[in-house]
Amino acid sequence: MERIRIGAGVGFYGDSFLPALEIIRQGAADFVCFEDLAELTLAILQKDRSRNPQSGYTKDLLPMLEAGLPDALRNHIRIIANAGGLNPQAAGQAVRGLAKKLGLALKVAVVSGDNILDRLPSFLPFSHMETGESLPEQVRERALFANVYLGAWPIVQALQQGADVVITGRVADPSLFLAPLVYGFGWDWDDWDRLALGTVVGHLLECSSQVTGGNHGGHWDAVAGLDQIGFPIADVTQDDQVIITKLPHSGGKISADTVREQLLYEIHDPTAYITPDVVVNVSGAHLEDLGNDRVKVSGIKGGERPARYKALLGYEDGYMGQGMLGYSWPDALKKAQATEKIMRNQMARLNLPVEEIRAEYLGYNSLHGPLASAQCQDDLNEVYLRLAVRTPDRRAAEQISRLMVPLALGGPPTASGLIGVDRVRGLTGLWPSLVERHAVDQLVTVSVEEVTS
Amino acid sequence: MRIQEVAYARSSDKGDHVDISVFAYTEESYQKLSQMLTAERVRQFFEPMGIGAVECYPVPNLLALKFVVKNALDGGGARSIRADNQGKTWSGALLRLAQEQWGG
């Protein structure tokens, strides 16, 4: 291929897929890639799967494909999604069922082998990536999921076998987008600068609207059309020109400012952004604003990929119980603080087994905590107390809102807006590790099945 | 001078760490920011939040400073009980630090 256009599908599980459908409807891309898995997402999908063994993939996959597949096939757009989560096989089966229902002929690929929870014994000691500590038995017993961040190669294989839809489990975010470039341009697996460039394309697109003016920290109020924000499209040529753009008439904005903001997002060391495919150096990046929501990206360098894959184990780590109660002027903050004290006394009297108590005041310091400015605290119009606890005991977590409710009558005055009660959340601890590449690669399977209409 | 007049920022989590990027609008303000926002100054500022070490990576090419605040989220966003469990607003907090340090 001489030119490849890649569209962003979703940036996380819960993101809107309508902008991607518009890209597909207009035929404005050759591939659309959906990045569904954040660190927390696998914990959510594990809960789904524990209730129903046929679930464990993201619930937006089928509605998205039902709306988008006919146009995608008509416009020769291939879809890549790590929406398979913890159950890519079941997701693939569901996609094939959907295609039959819609009367569509296509090839569906499933990439699996990233899920190593059942094979954990062969990966021990599964030492912590940063501390070097061996995986403790009590953490292993509470494991919810353990997945390896795979690179682009299994997806490339699926595309080579003609897949129209590729469903994967935990593939590293940018690798989803790198794969069609490696496939389409025939890049070599040791062509580090090109792999790095393709990885940067993926990194810029993987958070969808965060590069098209969403969550823009600069002149955010000058970004128009957030009510119909467009998702990014990368236009890449065989001679390594990369332009990040979006559909004309979609909302949002692409400028050197929005692109550099996403370029550095969450990558830690800008000279060594580690991915399964390549170690990327973005410190020499050059961003040329071509106008009309088009930015050209160059100056990306790459180095040899790491010898080991990153794996992430999530484990049950207690519960959070919380409640919120609002107070109005006068003395809004003082009243909310008094309620915090009442709650603390009551919890102590009940001997609730809490490991951490956190009191935050919405409208005053719930986001910045001790860093919030104290200047306005005496004259707040209103403030909400949010009281949250960490506890190993689910029933103790449920107690928090029960203690808070009576304080609407039996506490300081002008209490109102009792919201957010009874929301007990399971907390997930994370244990990152590094695993041998070959030990994982031999577990990876790429299966392509054809559906005939 | 207020820092948000000369720079903007974005932050988020990776595991237990908060990753913050600060972007200057001009070369001149980038020079000022890089002198002022050392890793140690940023560490002192975020200390009340309960953090570990702070790393600083200057990216002069993009007029950017990257800070990685280690062990900052009580074990990570999925384990934290904070409202801002992913450190999404730490960028805003940091903009205020420089404002105070620069004076009015």
Cα nearest neighbour of A432 on chain B: B15
The CA R_g of chain A, rounded to the nearest whole Å, is 24
Q: Which of B11, B12, B62 is the best substitution to test chain A (most A C-beta atoms within 10 A)?
A: B62
Burial grade of A91 (CB within 10 A; 0-12, 13-18, 19 or more) = buried
pLDDT at B98: 61
- Which residues from B are below 8 Å from A40, CB to CB? 77-78
Give the three-class secondary structure for B42.
helix
Q: How far apart are CA A234 and CA A201, in angstroms?
A: 7
- Residues A99-149 have pLDDT tens digits of 999 999 999 999 999 999 999 999 999 999 999 999 999 999 999 999 999
Question: Could you tell me whether strands A78-81 and A295-298 are parallel, antiparallel, or unpaired per DSSP bridges?
Answer: unpaired
Do B10 and A390 count as a contact with CB atoms less than 8 A apart? no
- Name the residue among A286, A356, A429 with its Cβ closest to that of B81: A356
Q: Which of A52, A107, A121, A59 is nearest to A85 (CA)?
A: A59
- Which residues from A are below 8 Å from B55, CB to CB? 268-269
pLDDT at A422: 64
- Residues A239-288 have pLDDT tens digits of 999 999 999 999 999 999 999 999 999 999 999 999 999 999 999 999 99
Do A270 and B78 count as a contact with CB atoms less than 8 A apart? no
Burial grade of A398 (CB within 10 A; 0-12, 13-18, 19 or more) = middle
Q: How far apart are CA A437 and CA A113, in angstroms?
A: 12
Cα nearest neighbour of B87 on chain A: A367
Residue with tokens 């080991």: A308
pLDDT at A364: 96
Per-residue pLDDT band for B102 (boundaries 50, 70, 90) equals: low
ipTM: 0.94
- Which residues from A are below 8 Å from B99, CB to CB? none
Residue with tokens 């997002």: A265
pLDDT at B103: 44
**Structural domains of chain A ordered from first start:** 3-114+149-306 (no CATH), 316-430 (3.30.70)
- Name the residue among B14, B61, B74 with its Cβ closest to that of A266: B14
Give the three-class secondary structure for B65.
strand
Chains A–B, number of C-beta pairs less than 8 Å apart: 126
Do B75 and A317 count as a contact with CB atoms less than 8 A apart? yes
Phi, psi of A52 (to 5 degrees): -145, 110
- Name the residue among A314, A356, A362 with its Cβ closest to that of B78: A314
Ranges of chain A with pLDDT below 70: 420-422
Residue B4, token pair as written in the block: 């948000």
Reported as type and span, the H/E element at residue B46 is helix B39-46
pLDDT at B4: 81
Residue B26: which residues within 8 A CB-CB, separation 6 or more? B6, B63
Chain centroid to CA A411: 41
Q: How far apart are CA B8 and CA A385, in angstroms?
A: 30
Residues of B with CB under 8 A from a CB of A: 8-10, 12-17, 19, 21, 23, 25, 45-46, 48-49, 55, 57, 59, 61-62, 64, 66, 68, 74-79, 81-84, 89, 91-93, 96
Residue A69, token pair as written in the block: 């597949």
Q: What angle do CA A226, A258, A373 make, to 5 degrees?
A: 80
Q: Give the count of beta carbons closer than 10 Å to the beta carbon of residue A306.
A: 16
Three-class secondary structure assignment of chain A? CCEEEEEECCCCCCCCCHHHHHHHHCCCCCEEEECCCCCCHHHHHHHHHHHCCCCCCCCCHHHHHHHHHHHHHHCCCEEEECCCCCCHHHHHHHHHHHHHHHCCCEEEEEEECCECHHHHHHHCCCCECCCCCCCCHHHHCCEEEEEECECCHHHHHHHHCCCCEEEECCECHHHHHHHHHHHHHCCCCCCHHHHHHHHHHHHHHCCHHHHCCCCCCCCHHHCCCHHHECCEEEEEECCCCEEEEECCCCECCCCHHHHHHHHCCCCCCCCCEECCCCEEECCCCEEEECCCCCEEEECCEEECCCCEEEEEEEEEEEEEEEEEEEEECCCHHHHHHHHHHHHHHHHHHCCCCCCEEEEEEECCCCCCHHHCCCCCHHHCCEEEEEEEEEECCHHHHHHHHHHHCCHHHHCCCCEEEEECCCCCEEEEEEEEEEEEHHHHHCCCEEEEEEECC
Q: Which of A283, A286, A356, A387 is the best substitution to test chain B (most B C-beta atoms within 10 A)?
A: A283
- Which residues from A are below 8 Å from B16, CB to CB? 430
Do B21 and A362 count as a contact with CB atoms less than 8 A apart? no
- Name the residue among A261, A358, A427 with its Cβ closest to that of B78: A427
**Structural domains of chain B ordered from first start:** 3-102 (3.30.70)
Q: Which of A44, A371, A384, A428 is the best substitution to test chain B (most B C-beta atoms within 10 A)?
A: A371
Q: Residue A85 in contact with residue A59, Cβ under 8 Å? A: no
pLDDT above 80 (res B36): yes
Cα nearest neighbour of A357 on chain B: B81
Give the three-class secondary structure for B60.
helix
Cα nearest neighbour of A321 on chain B: B81
Chain centroid to CA A48: 17
Q: Which of B3, B4, B6, B10 is the best substitution to test chain A (most A C-beta atoms within 10 A)?
A: B10
DSSP secondary-structure letter at B104? -
pLDDT at A378: 86
- Name the residue among B59, B68, B83 with its Cβ closest to that of A386: B83
